[in-house]
Chain A
Amino acid sequence: MKKNNAMTGRLKIHLMFGLILVVSTSVTGADDPNTFNRLMDPPSKRNPSPMTDGIHDPNNNGTQLLQPPKEAFQQLPKGKSGNYIDWMKALQDKKINPRNDRVDTKSQPIIMDLNIVREVKGSMPDVVYPHKQHTEWLDCANCHPAIFIPQKGANQISMASILLGEKCGVCHGKVAFPVSECRRCHSKPKPTKTANKKNKSDKQAK
């Protein structure tokens, strides 16, 4: 018992010294604690060059040859998150012309214009899934049947699964625009009583 107390006492002292060591070495680097961007990265940190981005080794001679994203993005339409590029607009405005085939520069994608509306419970606007934009980039087989059964309403989709990287989240939040851009998916306002209070044309209809 006594021995135990002595042990914890010693452990406490060690912990204290440890903490002091940590604090004394880290305080020197600390900035003003009351800044903006405490939990969020400021715009200046977006699209960092490979030399400073933390997943390339700046001492590797290959890293030095890589193109900084900002250089490539200069002439592309800006987006709100992700790469901070609106890839759909870049494609539609022909700012980029990605090949549809590894070698054949003439090959064109087969576009299918079919919207699927998914009704959402609660206040959020309904989700419109557009085949048109997706078939610009992807093959049917990229989604059907592995990610989605090709039948309206046959798939259980929830926001939780999307956040975990399933369903729409297989691409959105990894390569395609991130989940934070809610309204790009939730794009169809609901004709509900609460929603049309502000909506004059709806009032007239009454």
Chain B
Amino acid sequence: MNKQKNRLIDHIKYSVMIAALLVITFAPTGQVKAEFGDVVINNYSDKAGMPPVVFPHWFHRIRFRCKVCHGDLGFEFKAGGNDINMVKIIDGQYCGACHNGEIAWSIENCNICHSAPVGTPTQVHESTLQKLIKPDQNKTEDKK
């Protein structure tokens, strides 16, 4: 009697597990719709318990030409390719060249930079490869 009940519970457990797996593998991945050129930087943030960083290109290119960051300040053209950390920033490198309380607000405003949901991988948002229409996205999403 008890044994059968246990087996029934086991069956339900398996079904739920498979359902969960199905959901994960076939879930639409298209919900993320951030601005073209937004870069998520997450080499260290997750591991350090901070939310990952979002860098908005559109906002900065209104104020600075590309060469200021990619020439003068030495940012490489590669998301996650600059090995940025907080010590470098407080010493005035990378983001810290401007976010120093002079040119832009200072770094104690942690969450304005560290604003991505935990676990968001390093990426350039809406890049060609990300935008190619792939199977498994755009399925049951609500569209308005």
Contacts and interface: CB of A to CB of B under 8 A. Distances in A.
Interface string A42-76: 10110110101111110011110111010011000
A107 to B, nearest CB: 9
B89 interface: no
A53 B56 CA distance: 12
Contacts, number: 196
A109 B67 contact: yes
B45 interface: no
Contact of A61 (B59, B71, B111, B125): B111
Interface of B: 11-12, 14-19, 21-23, 26, 30-38, 40, 51, 54, 56-59, 61-68, 70-73, 77, 97-98, 103, 109-118, 120, 124-129, 131, 133, 138, 140, 142-144
A98 B23 CA distance: 46
Given A55-B54, A169-B128, A174-B124, A66 B71 contact: no
A171 B97 CA distance: 23
Interface stretch (A113-121, A138-146, A148-156, A190-198): A138-146
Interface residues of A, number: 70
